[in-house]
């Protein structure tokens, strides 16, 4: 294949490493209806809708970072055949956003509340977002220095933070399985075939050697269940589904637990009114859940950045985590000599986002190939991916790039 020339400005540290063969691996995913994931989704929706409104009215995206969201759970009385919320869910959306330019005011509070309500309606099928949720929008304009930095561009947007982004490739079999389990449970046919399955799904996968144990929590919705026999029938179907997915991913030895904390009485079952523990059992916050690859992977390099809600133009806490993953994936896809790769990008505030202060790449080569043999190709792929960063803006705004 033909590769572009590497940039002479690329500060790249390339080192070799061995693919880890740990006897234990742990992977987690918080599903669509988990309170932390809800906060990520609403923050990202807020940023996307702000970007669209700014672009529509002013021809460009203005400065904003709305990556602070808090969900305070309500109170509920779940029951077979029905149930009700006795106290609403409260969602607080905060951050910084331009509210006025050239005398034109931007309806930031309306954009935040309406976008959040729309997402909840389209994503949580048993939640009444008009009746059961209260929104509190607490945004303020950004500081003058950061607004000025945001508006100042050379050949590329300038990083508005000194931050770190990390990514790796390829996913392990367990990582792919955990991601698939949640996505399958919350798939398109779920509402039609299994309306009792709530969107608040959490999956924990633990691999020991070649065997895997999957613990799945799924909020069951009382209105679709007449009695406890229906509840346990749904649990059994979930268990069978997850075990089959484990087999398809190469795990011949698997153990599956669903709603493992269930007790004997109705009050001890994971029964809900809305399909999310946000109604009574849990609160949520941006950045406490999945990383940009959709997983929580303590055995891998991870960033603590809350990517959701950060502006897609210059906030490297968002952009670099996506770019680092893309670089690792591109290297593995393009170079058959590389079995695995890890990438870390370090920014410096005020520098072009396409020129990180440091790029560290760790690659595992096949058959002991010296990394010097593939250095030039790795540099060229990395430089090419970095040059594409400004093109990510459109994909972020269109919702084509997931951040949670």
The pLDDT value given to residue 154: 62
Are the C-beta atoms of residues 216 and 201 closer than 8 Å to each other? yes
Higher model confidence: residue 40 or residue 281?
A: 40
Mean pLDDT of the chain: 94
User: Binning pLDDT at 50, 70 and 90, where does residue 199 land?
Assistant: very high
The pLDDT value given to residue 182: 98
pTM: 0.94
The model's pLDDT over 286-305, given as tens digits with 9 standing for 90+, comes to 999 999 999 999 999 999 99
Higher model confidence: residue 348 or residue 149?
A: 348
The pLDDT value given to residue 146: 66
SS (H, E, C) the chain: CCCCCCCCCCCEEEEECCCCCCCEEEEEEECCCCHHHHHHHHHHHHHHHHHHHHHHHHCCCCCEEEEEEEEECCEEEEECCEEEEEECEEEEEEEEECCEECCEECCHHHHHHHHHHHHHHHHCCCCCCCCCEEEEEEEECCCHHHHHHHHCCCCCCECCCCCEEEEEECCCHHHHHHHHHHHHHCCCCHHHHCCCEEEEEEEEEEEECCEEEEEEEEEEEHHHCCCHHHHHHHHHHHHHHHHHHHHHCCCCEEEEEECCCCCCCHHHCCEECCCCHHHCCCCEECCCCCCCCCCECCCCCCCCCCCCCECCCCCHHHHHHHHHHHHHHHHHHHCCCEEEEEEEEECCCCCECCCCCEEEEEEEEHHHCCHHHCHHHHHHHHHHHHHCHHHHHHHHHHCCCCCC
Range 398-403 contact pairs with CB under 8 angstroms and sequence separation of 24 or more? 399/48, 401/322, 402/292, 402/294, 403/40, 403/44, 403/292, 403/307, 403/308, 403/318, 403/322
User: Binning pLDDT at 50, 70 and 90, where does residue 10 land?
Assistant: confident
Provide, rounded to the nearest whole percent, the portion of the chain with pLDDT above 70. 96
User: Binning pLDDT at 50, 70 and 90, where does residue 8 land?
Assistant: low
The pLDDT value given to residue 1: 43
Are the C-beta atoms of residues 174 and 205 closer than 8 Å to each other? yes
The pLDDT value given to residue 246: 98
Average confidence (pLDDT) over 149-156 = 71
The pLDDT value given to residue 266: 80
The model's pLDDT over 16-75, given as tens digits with 9 standing for 90+, comes to 998 878 999 999 999 999 999 999 999 999 999 999 999 999 999 999 999 999 999 999
β 104-105/100-101 pair status: antiparallel
The pLDDT value given to residue 380: 97
The pLDDT value given to residue 141: 87
Higher model confidence: residue 103 or residue 359?
A: 359
Among 89-93, 177-181, 223-227, 267-271, name the one with the lowest average pLDDT: 267-271
């Amino acid at each position: 294949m033909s590769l572009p020339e590497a940039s002479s400005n690329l500060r790249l540290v390339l080192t070799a490493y061995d693919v880890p063969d740990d006897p234990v691996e742990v992977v987690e995913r918080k599903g669509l209806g988990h309170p932390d994931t809800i906060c990520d989704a609403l923050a990202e929706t807020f940023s996307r809708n702000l970007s669209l409104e700014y672009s529509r009215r002013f021809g460009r995206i203005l400065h904003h970072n709305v990556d602070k969201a808090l969900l305070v759970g309500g109170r509920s009385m779940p029951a077979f055949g029905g149930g009700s919320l006795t106290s609403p869910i409260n969602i607080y959306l905060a951050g910084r956003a331009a509210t006025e330019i050239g005398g034109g005011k931007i309806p930031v509070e309306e954009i935040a509340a309406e976008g959040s309500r729309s997402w909840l309606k389209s994503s949580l099928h048993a939640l009444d977002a008009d009746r059961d949720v209260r929104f509190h929008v607490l945004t303020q304009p950004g500081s003058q220095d950061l607004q000025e930095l945001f508006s100042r561009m050379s050949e590329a947007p300038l990083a508005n933070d000194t931050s770190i982004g990390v990514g790796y490739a390829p996913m392990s079999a367990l990582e792919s399985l955990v991601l698939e389990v949640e996505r399958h449970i919350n798939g398109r046919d779920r509402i039609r075939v299994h309306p009792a399955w709530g969107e608040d799904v959490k999956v924990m996968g633990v691999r020991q050697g070649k065997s895997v144990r999957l613990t799945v929590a799924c909020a069951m919705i009382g209105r679709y269940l007449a009695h406890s026999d229906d509840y346990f029938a749904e649990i059994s179907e979930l268990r069978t589904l997850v075990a089959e997915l484990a087999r398809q991913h190469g795990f011949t030895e698997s153990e599956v637990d669903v709603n493992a904390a269930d007790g004997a009485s109705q009050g001890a079952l994971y029964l809900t009114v809305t399909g999310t523990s946000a109604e009574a059992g849990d609160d949520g916050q941006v950045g406490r859940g999945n990383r940009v690859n959709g997983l929580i992977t303590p055995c891998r390099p991870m960033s603590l950045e809350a990517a959701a809600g950060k502006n897609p133009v210059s906030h490297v806490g968002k952009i670099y985590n996506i770019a680092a993953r893309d670089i690792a994936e591109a290297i593995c896809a393009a170079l058959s000599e590389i079995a695995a790769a890890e990438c870390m990008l370090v920014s410096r505030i005020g520098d072009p986002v396409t020129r990180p202060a440091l790029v560290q790449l760790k690659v595992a080569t096949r058959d002991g190939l010296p990394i010097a043999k593939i250095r030039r190709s790795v540099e060229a792929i990395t430089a090419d991916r970095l040059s594409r960063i400004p093109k990510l803006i459109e994909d972020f705004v269109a919702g084509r790039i997931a951040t949670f």
